[in-house]
Amino acid sequence: MILLTRFNGTQFYINAELIQTVEETPNTVVTLLDRTRFVVVEPAATVAERFVQYKQKINQPLHLEDHSGS
């Protein structure tokens, strides 16, 4: 999930896996695979950067703490 901001100032999380396109027209429009569209205040480059950060985070190996006491 990535955090975005609507023009009225409210923030929301969007499932990054569902993003089809991000374009500036001149406002940034995020279109999902089901054609749902969101107009957000963040520039397209920021949305793309957050998407990359999201992908990097979910592709990191899971580190479980060892609580076995050994």
SS3 (DSSP) at 57: helix
Cβ pair 4, 22 in contact under 8 A: no
Distance of alpha carbon 47 from alpha carbon 61, whole angstroms = 24
Cβ pair 28, 39 in contact under 8 A: yes
Distance of alpha carbon 3 from alpha carbon 18, whole angstroms = 14
State pTM to two decimals. Answer: 0.80
SS3 (DSSP) at 5: strand
How confident is the chain (70 residues) per 10-residue block, as mean pLDDT?
96 97 96 97 97 90 61
